[in-house]
Amino acid sequence: MVAVPNKPTIHDVIEELVPPLEDDRYASPTEARRKAMNYLARREYGHRELCIKLETAGFLPDVAGAAVEKLRRDNLQDDRRFVGSFVQSRIHQGKGPVVVRADLRQRGIASALVAEVLTQSGQNWHELAREVRHKKFGTGLPTDFKEKARQMRFLQYRGFEHDHIQAAVGGDDD
């Protein structure tokens, strides 16, 4: 007996020729979750930031929001974990607390959570300001007003508060 290959039907031919509608993909909660998990596999995201990223990728706002909320319930997305990771990365970049707060506020993170994580980080901001100044300008303290002002502006731009800056350029060791 000779096996006869199945003859394609008209539906098979049409499915091959006509690609599936892309809009259906962007309305699928499963696709939104998959895309969000791909993003989270690379780095942590805040809730709002991840929703915006999915919407930018083409997903409907309610589908994106539902997918991220489900990830939050499954503990795959966590704002506290995101803030902790974000704060540590900015500390390693030599950024001060003012810049960290502003960046997190821009990403839609609650101020209370930011304040709590900054406190729990245990970072000595005075020491970090000194280290950043030393790295940029060397170990010697500024001798004239113009140089001191330049270094203070640099540290202010980096996001350090006034008392951190004074400790860094004034030689205070507290």
Q: pLDDT tens, position by position, for the chain (174 residues)?
A: 555 566 767 656 556 665 555 557 778 888 999 999 999 999 999 999 999 999 999 999 999 999 999 999 999 999 999 999 999 999 999 999 999 999 999 999 999 999 999 999 999 999 999 999 999 999 888 889 999 999 999 999 999 999 999 999 986 554
Q: Identify the CATH number of the domain defined by range 22-73.
A: 1.10.10.10
Q: What is the CA radius of gyration of the chain?
A: 26
Alpha helices by DSSP H, listed for the chain, are 10-17, 22-26, 29-42, 47-56, 61-73, 79-92, 97-106, 111-120, 125-137, 145-157, 162-170
| Whole-prediction pTM | 0.77
**Second CATH level (architecture) for the domain 79-120:** Orthogonal Bundle (1.10)
The pairs formed by 138-142 with CB atoms below 8 angstroms and a separation of 24 or more are 141/169, 141/170, 141/171, 142/169
Could you check whether 22-73 and 79-120 share the same CATH topology?
yes
User: If you ran DSSP here, which 8-state letter would residue 70 be given?
Assistant: H
CA–CA distance, 168 with 139 (Å, rounded to integer): 10
